[in-house]
Structure 1
Amino acid sequence: MKRQKLVIAGAGSTYTLGMVMSLIAEKDNFPLECLTFYDIDHDRQEKVSKATEVILKEKYPELKQFKYTTDKKEAFEDADFVFVQIRTGGLSMREKDEKIPLKYGVVGQETCGPGGMAYGMRSISDMIELVNDIRKYSPDAWILNYTNPAAIVAEALRRVFPNDKKILNICDMPAAIMVSYASILGKEIWDLVPEYFGLNHFGWFTKIYDKEGNDLTDDIKNSILNKGFVPEDSEIVNDPSWIKTFKQVQIMLKDFPEYLPNTYLQYYLYPQDMVKKEDINYTRANQVIDGREKRVKNLCNQIIADQSTQNAHLEVDIHGRYMIKVAASLAYNNCDIYIVITENNGIISNLPDDAMVEVPAMITKNGPKPFAIGKIPTFYKGLLENQLFLY
């Protein structure tokens, strides 16, 4: 099995340690020769990198090389895979994206509403520049993009790089939801086979099967309707904001019982309710700054000071695990099935061919092979087209 040369772009992210732990958990399935961190913020990246050095020394001693850099050539030259998780403008701009719309009584959220559009417009130019940089030094590398808002970013990259078939846009939200489905069913997420359609952060699970082909959809629906719904992924399980978001799924399912909704649909189906629930002086951005941001910083400081992970609580999360499993299927032609963002081209037959849709696909060494959805009901078609025409 070929060992891969992986670059993480935006490695100063608070999600990077979870990605590192996921790489360790998946090292038999996606073995690395070298791991490189790249970020434009040296100080932010250095803290995460110094902690990562300790983690890798303890838990991934067979890794031949780990390095971090702000130099594009050093980062991207001769890469096999680049995972992209950048945040243009950082959390300070996220705070503005959330608070300015709320000031005018509309949804204030990082990927939805006016704030989502503003974030998307900022992200596009940086993503185009980054893809050009990667292609300059590694023309054949797979670029797996997690950068939000993924729907807008994916559409921009489709237009600017129409012939680049090695860019794949991914979102872990469907997987994070499926972690909770798996908990309801007493199974692992990887035991479930989803049917799903939509746009990024705007879609529905139509069926959930196990690998033996048993339809488990009604079991999930009945559990949510009777017992509620809670997050289970390690990164969000204790997060008050995410707990409220998952709780809203019960209401959505009562009002729209046909399919299981993506959690982000709350912002589109109940926009005024979402506005009323928000505190304009302390939005999700502030929660992240005071919560995950500080927690990860303190965790890095402790690991660096101890030069050990003995006193550090480190967990694998779905953010990293999902990306790595998709990468492994691309690298080794595993033909595993995952939900990804791809050009429609008839997958949803009554939506435009050039729409960037989020659907299940078999992941091969030649890229995703999406499964046909066919026609979707008029109600959902109208909702999706309303979003598409905004782009």
Structure 2
Amino acid sequence: MSQKLKVVTIGGGSSYTPELLEGFLKRYHELPVSELWLVDVEGGKEKLDIIHALCERMVEKAGVPMKVFKTLDRREALRDADFVTTQLRVGQLKAREKDERIPLSHGYLGQETNGAGGLFKGLRTIPVIFDIIKDVQELCPNAWVINFTNPAGMVTEAVYRHTNFKRFIGVCNIPIGMKMFITDVLNLSEKDDLSIDLFGLNHMVFIRDVLVNGKSRFAELIDGVASGTLTANSVKNIFDLPFSEGLIRSLNLIPCSYLLYYFKTKEMLAIEMGEYYKGGARAQVVQKVEKQLFELYKNPDLNVKPKELEQRGGAYYSDAACEVINAIYNDKQAEHYVNFPHNGHVDNIPADWAVEMTAILGRDGAKPHPRLTHFDDKVLGLIHTIKAFEIQASHAALSGNINDVELAMNLSPLIGSDKDAEILAREMILAHEEWLPNFAATVEKLKK
């Protein structure tokens, strides 16, 4: 690594960027970032300007020799970068609103990483990530790309399945939230050594053991979650329902909150339909929060990350990203929970899958934790189903073919009607036409 440590953040105008910078400033003594480049697109220019000015004030207050740059020219930013973080939203929050509202208008869950909405977010995002990777391979081939653009699992799967780029790690805030929940509930201090056996796919992870200073404390946790005295929901963007005691005791696993979409599909749909009929969707809530945040960010006296940022669903993403970069840069060989290919380490799933699981992170990237060689058989069926959906979605993103989109829809357990899969595919391709250049020929046919 050079003396200069250059980090490029694509989607730099995101409301999360101040948290990312706070993470770098907090770790400056061991992660001396000398240049942080914030990159965005023309449509995000105003937000980028506001974020850049706030970041400059934060750096000045911290008194560290870090330079913050802003640009709409991605290639200029990427030259000789050491780390690239991706936190982009193709089509911005208006596109997310369509992902949520169109499925709900047909009586299906509308959500930005699952079902029809998650599929279309993937279709818009994967080609853009591939363009970024092409630039990285040309301009900074030794850089690591740390992605926290959703759907993180689908994106990681696509990168390892359809490109030859190997320095790519997907990061999610769900495991971090679960870790913080465990730390709180077990009253752990920084001195305690906490190790978590976590496995599955992005937004579909389960915890099967929790070791504190080498001793399992899983039994007391599962008891609390099963009896309802503890709720493991750590995210702001999912309605908080407890899993039934019978499910938790029979699984003997702690599921992440996104599994509510599969184990409580009826209830979750009822809640979302209620919001939809009242004219609401999560994207609108987020747009309101964003608006308020950017008003705060504009204040020339603000020079820290405001508390209000935690109202967004992605709190701690940035902490996760900074920790991952730190572990690689300083070869920490530390435990993290990330998306990456397990390369045959897990003995009862295909060797070429990208998964989300406990990993050891160092200079060479992520290696599966030696303890986790087997995924729990009880939930393998569900994991296989969602992985088939992710693989097909990544094919569809590249082919631009409506049949591939329909197949992905039909493979999702959240749709369940081939006729509606067809209707949704057509309607959503047309609604997102602007952000689906790969689908130009398909759009032309649909409009005839």
| TM value normalised by structure 2 | 0.79
Instruction: Look up the equivalent residue of 1:135 and give its one-letter code.
Output: Q
Could you tell me which of 326, 329, 349 is aligned with 1:328? 326
Which amino acid is the alignment partner of residue 382 of structure 1? G
Query: What secondary structure, in the 3-state scheme, does the structure 1 residue paired with 2:111 have?
Result: coil
Cα separation, 1, equivalents of 2:103 and 2:308: 36
In 2: Cα distance, 1:191 partner to 1:22 partner: 22
Corresponding residue number in structure 2 for 1:153: 155
Q: What is the CA–CA distance in structure 1 between the aligned matches of 2:230 and 2:379, rounded to whole Å?
A: 24
Cα distance change, pair 321–312 in 1 and its aligned pair in 2 (3 A): closer
2:48 alignment counterpart: 45
Is the contact made by 2:11 and 2:40 (CA closer than 8 Å) also made in structure 1? yes
Alignment of 1:249-288 (within 5 A): 249=243, 254=248, 256-278=250-272, 279-280=275-276, 281-288=279-286
CA offsets 1:188-231 (integer angstroms, 9 cap, x no match):
58842110110111120111112x11212122223333423266
1:68 and 1:17 mapped to 2: Cα distance? 14
- CA 1:188/1:97 → structure 2, altered by over 3 Å: closer, same or farther? farther
Residue 78 of structure 1 deviates from its aligned partner by 1.1
RMSD: 2.3
In our comparison, the structure showing a higher alpha carbon Rg is 2
In structure 1, C-alpha distance between the alignment counterparts of 2:283 and 2:253, rounded to whole Å: 30
Asked whether the 8 Å contact 2:222–2:249 carries over to 1, the reply is: no
Judge conservation of contact 1:349–1:374 (CA < 8 Å) in 2. yes
One of 282, 287, 290 as aligned partner of 2:288:
290
Question: CA deviation digits over 1:160-182, x for unaligned, max 9?
Answer: 323x2211122121111211111
SS of equivalent to 1:115: helix
Q: 2:346 is paired with a residue of what secondary structure?
A: coil
Provide the C-alpha distance between the structure 1 equivalents of 2:148 and 2:304, rounded to a whole number of angstroms: 30
The structure 2 residue matched to 1:248, chosen from 242, 247, 260, is 242
Whether contact under 8 Å (1:253, 1:260) holds in the other structure is: no
| Structure 2 Cα separation of the partners of residues 270 and 314 of structure 1 | 30
Could you tell me how far apart the structure 2 residues matched to 1:340 and 1:267 are? 21
> How far did residue 376 of structure 1 move?
3.1
Q: Which whole-Å CA distance do the structure 2 matches of 1:311 and 1:344 have between them?
A: 36
Is there any run of 5+ residues in structure 1 with no aligned partner, and where? none
Comparing 16-25 with 75-84, greater Cα deviation is found at 16-25
Task: Please state how far the C-alpha of 1:375 moved relative to its aligned partner.
Answer: 3.4
Cα distance in 1 for partners of 2:154, 2:206 equals 19
Shift of 1:294: 2.0
Match of 1:197 among 185, 196, 199: 199
Look up the equivalent residue of 1:187 and give its one-letter code: L
Aligned with 1:227: secondary structure?
coil
Residue in structure 2 matching 1:110, options 106, 109, 112: 112
Question: Which string of whole-angstrom CA distances, capped at 9 and with x for unpartnered residues, describes residues 60-87 of structure 1?
Answer: x222421111112321111111111111
Q: Distance in 1 between matches of 2:261 and 2:228?
A: 23
1:312 to 1:206, Cα distance in 2 relative to 1, 3 A: closer
The one-letter code matched in structure 2 to 1:258 is N
CA deviation map 1:103-158 (0-9, x unaligned): 22221110001110111111111110111122221111111111110111111111
1:3 to partner: Cα distance = 5.2
Please tell me the residue identity of whatever aligns with 2:378: F
Contact 1:26 1:321 (8 Å CA) reproduced: no
**Are the aligned partners of 1:23 and 1:320 in contact in 2 as well (CA < 8 Å)?**
no
Residue pair 1:18, 1:314 contacting (<8 A) in 2 also: no
Matches within 5 A, 1:6-85: 6-40=7-41, 41-59=44-62, 61-85=63-87
Which residue type is aligned with residue 358 of structure 1? E
1:160/1:63 CA distance change after superposition, 3 Å: farther
Residue 199 of structure 2 aligns to a residue in which SS?
strand
The answer to whether the 8 Å contact 2:293/2:309 transfers is no
- Looking at structure 2, the residues matched to 178 and 3 of structure 1 have their Cα atoms a distance apart, in angstroms, of 33
Deviation at 1:301, TM superposition (A): 1.4
Deviation at 1:250, TM superposition (A): 6.2
- Matched with 2:215 is 214
Take 2:244 and 2:57, find their aligned partners in 1: how far apart are those partners?
A: 43
Contact 1:3-1:30 within 8 A present in 2 as well: no
Cα distance between partner residues in 2 of 1:377 and 1:6 = 38
Question: In structure 2, how many angstroms separate the alpha carbons of the residues matched to 1:110 and 1:311?
Answer: 26
Corresponding residue for residue 357 of structure 2: 359
Write out per-residue CA displacement over residues 240-272 of structure 1, whole angstroms, 9 at most, x where no aligned residue: x44x33x43566854654101011111122212
SS in 1 for 2:280: coil
The answer on whether the counterparts of 1:347 and 1:371 sit within 8 Å (CA) in structure 2 is no
Contact 1:198 1:359 in 2 (8 A): yes
Partner-residue secondary structure (3-state), 1:109: coil
Q: Tell me: CA distance 1:336–1:145, structure 2 relative to 1, closer, same or farther (3 Å).
A: same
* Number of residue equivalences: 376
Does the CA contact (< 8 Å) of 1:23 and 1:30 recur in 2? yes
Alignment partner of 1:319 out of 301, 317, 320: 317
Does the Cα contact within 8 Å between 1:107 and 1:272 map onto a contact in 2? Answer: no
2:319 alignment partner AA = R
Partner of 1:89: 91
Question: Does residue 383 in structure 1 map to residue 396 in structure 2?
Answer: no
Q: Residue 146 of structure 2: SS of its match in structure 1?
A: strand
Distance 2:82 2:14 in 1: 21
For residue 172 of structure 2, what is the amino acid of its counterpart? C
In structure 1, C-alpha distance between the alignment counterparts of 2:16 and 2:306, rounded to whole Å: 16
